[in-house]
Structure 1
Amino acid sequence: MTPVDQITDTDFKKTPLEKALFQITECAVTTTSIEEYSKELHSIIKQLMYAKNFFVALYEQDQSLVNFVYIVDEYDTSISKEINTLSVEELRRTLTGYMLRTGKIQHLSKADVKRLGEKNVIDHVGTDSYDWLGVPLKYKDEVMGGMVIQSYREDISYGKHEEAILQFVARQIALVLKSKQSERALLDANLVLEQRVIERTQDLKRINSALSKEVKERKKSQEIQAALFQISELVSTTESLREFYHSVHQVIKRLMYAENEYIAILNEDGNKIDFAYFVDQHDEQPGPRDFSGNPNSGGFTEKVLATGNTFLYHRNDDYYGVVGSERCVSWLGVPLKDKHRVFGILAVQSYVDDVVYTRDDQVVLLTIGQQVANAILRKKDSDSLIQAHESLERRVKERTFELEKTIEKRKIVEKRLEFESLHDALTGLPNRLHLSNTLNELLQLEPSERKNPLALLFLDLDRFKIINDSLGHHVGDLFLIEVAKRLKSCLRSDDMVARLGGDEFCVLMPVMDDKNAAFKLSTRILAELKKPVEVANHSLITSASIGVRLAESHETSAETIMSDADAAMYQAKHQGKNRFCYFDANIKKLVTSRMKMERDLRQAVSEKQLFLVYQPIVNIRTNQIDGLEALVRWEHPENGLVSPAEFIPVAEETGLIVEIGEEVIRMACEALAEFKQESILKHLYVNVNVSSLQVLARTLDDHIRQNLLQMGLDSSSLNIEITESILIEDYKAAMSFVRELKSMGVQVYLDDFGTGYSSLSYLHKFPFDAIKLDRSFINALGESGQNRAIVESIGQLAHSLGINIVAEGLETKEQLEVIEQMNYDLIQGFYFAKPMKIQEVKAFVSQFEIDD
């Protein structure tokens, strides 16, 4: 019998290898356990080589055990029945243990095994084999187990071809193992999460059962926010309460049916109801009426005023508290409160059978009512202040006593204004001015007055923008109020927390008796902010990035201290968020440089400093240029060309990549429109790379569709390249994006194929039109026959799946000669051309010819 390592390519036809590779990929999806997967692999490998004796062992690192999940051995038959699991120590001096220890492929003849035994590297275990081939199962640098085949026959041995195939199979097993581990971890995490959700749901049901029924959906959140803002503005834009009430009525009519509405106010003694505003289809405005405080006497108005609760009525309800000439179909009223004191009511009613108010309307009107109550109080205060001023001017000549009284009132107002000027209106915390004044006072103290340094913590919430944009400003404000409470709960007695604006806070530690006090407080704040925040029936999770600046008295100004802490915060955010970072001189330079880069990049986008270059994609079978890959470049007006490796990460970090990506699509479509005008170029297509942030923004597909239509382009002329990182980050968003592109007729390429976690399985799940083989495979073509076999196998696999494949990174004639012998038609790389400007494309295409 011919030894296995002497079998040539012609002896081993392409069809079995191609079929085996496809089966390996397919069984990774269809099998439900690693044991079943190993058994299927054994049957596949036996089609490719002699593998009568085969086993797979998994290394369970956390238990220091090796689990033999699959064993078939023609001589040591007892092993498969008796040995399932061995400790690492028991296995250490075996051939399998030696392979796992080294983490490398071990191909050992009988003589090799004997030499290892003589060198005291291993102990003799089991029946001697003539040839032993073991390959570790590795994911990145982690050894996850091993796979072994061995021959007890003297006339059968293994060669490089078998090594290459077994290593390729080992990588697939490692990927499957990692996938199974991830699935198991996700399942465990889901079970824990489900239990926590169940427990939390029970708590919420007990605490907020009534509220949870009223606020199931907030379909009108944007209209409500706009209405709240408009009502707030009416305080200063209307001249009288009557005009204010009328304007409020118009705002409410835009949110719900409110043809009949009234506002009733209690007098100062609380015993008279005055209908300050009344619009009704059937009744005239009633005069004042007595109020006893009994909810069971009078009508719906008295019921709301007495109980302080909202009230929703429908004609079918068993309640007869209707006052008026015509009985309404539906009635809804909410109390107007000053803190806990009810001072009035806002009500709407319907006489139309098909207009019935709901719990959703109740929630909307309650929210509007709170704002109306605040606005009425502010309007009254404003009017009172004006009247007091006018009265003061009128009476100043008449009564000195009255003047003194009025001055005292004005002092109270001034104190309130002074307080408001130094405190944040939303949270009540000290504001930036208050913090700056306090910090400057501390810095001006003499060294003898303070022995220890002070500390300033600059804090920025990491996910607030997402919360604010997705749930609305009202929820965002409530969330900030809760965060402020949590920050205050973390402080020592002498510490001060201030809100600078937006989602930025500062904590001032004026006394640092313990040198680790800032470290401890930062750690305490991060831990507190990790806890879910319950706001408006939403369970919100956030984290923070904190910059810490230590300072001595007389060191510098408050502005400099705050700027340095801000810089340290940006460095913490850059390092991955949810952490704190101490300021030093290097951080200042890094942040300044990064902020300048971001500022320049924003300017570059607005001033259209970005441009595209194009690298040809060559069809070596037709000797033609089939298409181009568009690559973005930046020509800085002062620094010249900026490397994409420098500005793309900044664009990703700041979110500018979405705007840049849209600009790239626009420029690529403009180029295609130009190509259509040239007969020699009109057949070309253009490939554009997109990032995960662009896909997750969920607007890119519309932008692509709009540009194709606007410029009259065939959708098949534009191809989109995505990487596996998008698929892993948000599988559903990626699948939706790919399907949208396919529905337009845009082709989708999987870029950098072979560098991800499970490329083969993604070929099954996603409708890719083409894959681009990563340049690392082409670079390694000349290193070993193993690399060449893998490149050839991937090409065969792509063609068997009906997927085009592009070999990327071709740089030498030798690489071209190797690729020409394989199943590759499309090539891209510096050997043919470096990326070129659009003005150079026509000349290159017209003169292109592959050198013989």
Structure 2
Amino acid sequence: MESRAKDTVHAIRQFPKLKSLLKKYRQLKTMQSGLLQLSDLAGSVNDMSVFYHALKSVIQSLLVTDSFHIALCDADNNLQLSHCHNPVESRLHENVDLANWRKSLTGLVFLRQQPLHCSAKERLALAKSGDIVLYGSEFVDWLGVPLKRGEQVIGVIALQSYDKKQYFSARDCETLAFIAEHLVTAIDRVKSRELLESSILQRTEKLTETNKQLQREIAERQLAAKAQQVLLNISELTAKSQALGNFYQALHFEIGKLLSAKNFYIALLSDDKSELAFPYYCDEKLVQLNTRKFGQGLSEMAINAGKPILLNGEQFYTLSAQGEVTKLKSKQYHAIHDLPRAWLAAPLSDQGEVFGVIAIQHYQDENAYQHKDLQLMRFVSHHISIEVLRQKMQQQALKSHEALEKIVNERTQELQATNLNLRMQIDERRKAEARLYHEAHHDALTQLPNRAMLADRLSYSIRHLKRHPHYRFSLLFIDLDRFKMINDTLGHHAGDQFLIEIARRLRLCVRDNDTLARLGGDEFVVLLDALQSTEDVEEIAARIINSIAQPYELDGHTLYSNASIGIAQSRVSYKDANEILRDADAAMYQAKSLGRGRFVFFDDSMREQLIASMTLEQELRQAIKNQQFELHYQKISHLTSTQAIGFEVLLRWQHPSKGLLTPSEFLFMAEETGMILDIETWVIEEVCLQLKLWKQSQEYENVYIAVNLSGRHLIQANQLAKLIELINVNTIEPERLILEFNESAFAQHTELALKGLRKLKSFGVKLALDDYGAGLSSFNFLHNYPFEFIKLDRSFTRTLNHNEKNLTLVKALHELGTQFGYRLVAEGIESAAMLKKLQNAGCEFGQGYHISRPAKMTKDPSSAKVVNINSA
């Protein structure tokens, strides 16, 4: 009994604890239920306003009050009230001063990023201290916690209690903080779904608008095709031999396809021009109009004007012979209420003499006809005039039973023609759709797939490779040599025929399952599908090169071309079509640089070369902008007297990181990109300045300065005039300039370059042929071109040490110079022995390290000395 009593006492003592645990269990269950309800809302609701409205029941089930509001941060990091549920103050959100949100309890929670529990007394204290501004009714208790996404505060949720029996406890604060954590995720999910639905709606609207635009374009094309067909039908009607009445009616029918021609008539003048007859008259108000005297009607107005006339409302317009529409100044022939709302007419004439008029009119719509319809009426009147003149003497009337039979036949034919036209329109629409798809995916000239279709095929192959790693394909990028020369020489038509023949040959070289496409210009691409080995690619590439190399017969000319092919093989690393096209293009440029007429497989080093080339181009542009160039001068001396006759200016680039660069390291890029013209403009200005300094110091007063220029100055439009103007502006002594050009300036534009040289010669500068003996070295340059100096290339001069035949050639060139008016200059003289040989051969002038090394010039007018800055 004693033990039982102890158990009873112990149970009584544990009862409050068990009751507290049961209460906590019920609270946790309620919170879990609320959070599950919150998660369900986030997964099912697509509209934030619906979500906030449903959130009320969750708040009410978990906390002591259902008065709450949510404020979220906008793009400018300002709080905006997103939702407010407050039964006590239904218009609370209208009283919130959003511009002064920092002076509110919600703003304090947001700025401090911590929960805030504030009673009415504490609220008044905060207001007195200036931390907040009071608005709305006085509450009993207030609780707010920040809404956080990770470490970032994105808003605030706050509760208000207006019941003196309801105060927020620490558990309420924990509960609200716990709800806030899940509320951010729920808001993000609903907003994401809301944004997704908005995006889908916008895309749907855009697709709808695109479809409408396509429908409008189809309608416009159909209208244009219909107008063309009507004009063709009118021309055919004129060519047919038929009764004039039938012709009028058929013409009326054709015009009615394009214009509102329910009211249509033709009026003819009598021979004495005193009466006006109406052989054809169709009108909704008058059944027939009898012959009447020539008076003051609208028909007479068109006959007197002798031009097409348009009446829109109360305004008259006419069409000149040049197709210009002007307002017609004429008196009013009728009262306004007697005129049709719209009237369109054109005179019928024979060799300038008007004998009638054709007209259509509308009694309801003044905009039934437009200005563009004047041209159509002019066309129609021309054909009616032809037919009337041809059948003027024929019988106008037929027997009544024949007329009736013809009317029945014509109506039957019209019905058949209408049905046939409807079927033809359906067929034409289908053909048009197929044609539009074909045009969008094929090259108009060669009918090969274009870039769009190739990109689709390439994308498919790349996707297929990712699913099937053993699948292999290759891309061949083909560029034609000499195509620009063919286009420029024989014209674009011959160039087009050449491309069509190239396409035909390429088709014969590839397999049926391969894709041959033209990207534009002379660039073709072949996608080789389902390859077994690299040898297959090489075989097809060699076959293409051999086929392209065969001669072409175009317009009586035999032409030759080559193909440079870059090959990129399939890689799993390729993400899209542009990447493999880029690599094949890089390999193609490598093939061109190796001598053309060959194929090269892509490797990663080619991309590095392209990046290096692009870097050099960017650095060169910066060098031009910052003037990182400097000029070195090498003396040109008389080989016998050793007296200086001039200097050749040598360009150097003071690179910020690579040091001093010679032209061979960067001029090829300047020439390729066209920057050479900007560089050489700077060189000319600097050289002219140096000439001025010499003149002031009276040293080197009579010497020349030789400047090597690009051939672009001779062959590019207006560039020669700019060069002459540049020299004219910067110096008054152009005769002290020697402009040097090498043979490459005359390779493709011989006549144009020769004209430019002669113009420079007449301007007064000296001309020199540079690097003679390094290239073709045609003798044509010696007697046909106005050169005053022929400069032997240093590579040619170097051979004189071991080649006596070339020494004989120097003697011959010297002797020819006395006949043709040029003087010989040897470059690259590097020893006394070489100098002696050139003197014995008769060479007059020379330059080289043995005579003088390149050096910079001072810019001090009082001391224009040559300052040697090179030790090598």
TM-score, normalised by the number of residues in structure 2? 0.44
Considering only CA atoms, is the larger Rg found in Structure 1 or Structure 2?
2
